[in-house]
Amino acid sequence: MRELLGFAAVGLLAYAADLGLFVWLRGPAGLDPLTAKALSFVAGCSVAYAGNALGTYRHTGIRGLRRYAVFFAVNVAGALVQLLCIAVSHYGLGLTSQRADTVSGAGVGMALATVLRFWGTRTWVFRQERGRVGSWTG
């Protein structure tokens, strides 16, 4: 339970960084939705890695560039889920407002991507040499 709560708390911080930057890049900065999402993703991913490495999974002692690369790859998969949601909504369904882009990318896409990221983070990134970090079922 502690692992899940820690992951969720770090995720909220990363989500705030991602969403805040996306809204700013999409609005005042005037970038297209896919570029804005890609840039905000990198910021959110870095916040999430730092929070998980220094907080949620600090007891594993697993840190470093290689782990960040694996973490980044897991998060790229999550970002692709979010980008797909934006692309379907914006270009497929014709919902082109900033609000529609935010709901599809930061709402629906983020929810789906979070499940993938939790599994990938605990399975591939912060996995100890002899197995998983711990049981998430208690």
Between residues 6 and 62, which one has the greater pLDDT? 6
Residue in the block written with tokens 């970002």: 79
pTM for the full model? Answer: 0.66
User: d(Cα 109, Cα 86) in Å, to the nearest integer?
Assistant: 8
Which range (13-27, 48-62, 120-134) has the least confidence?
120-134
Condensed to tens digits (0 to 9), the pLDDT of residues 96-112 reads 998 998 899 888 998 89
Condensed to tens digits (0 to 9), the pLDDT of residues 21-47 reads 999 999 999 999 889 988 998 899 889
User: d(Cα 94, Cα 19) in Å, to the nearest integer?
Assistant: 22
Q: So what's the pLDDT on residue 63? A: 65
Residue 30: C-alpha distances to residues 22, 23, 82, 88, 107 (Å): 10, 10, 20, 20, 21
Closest residue by Cα to residue 114 from 63, 88, 75, 68: 75
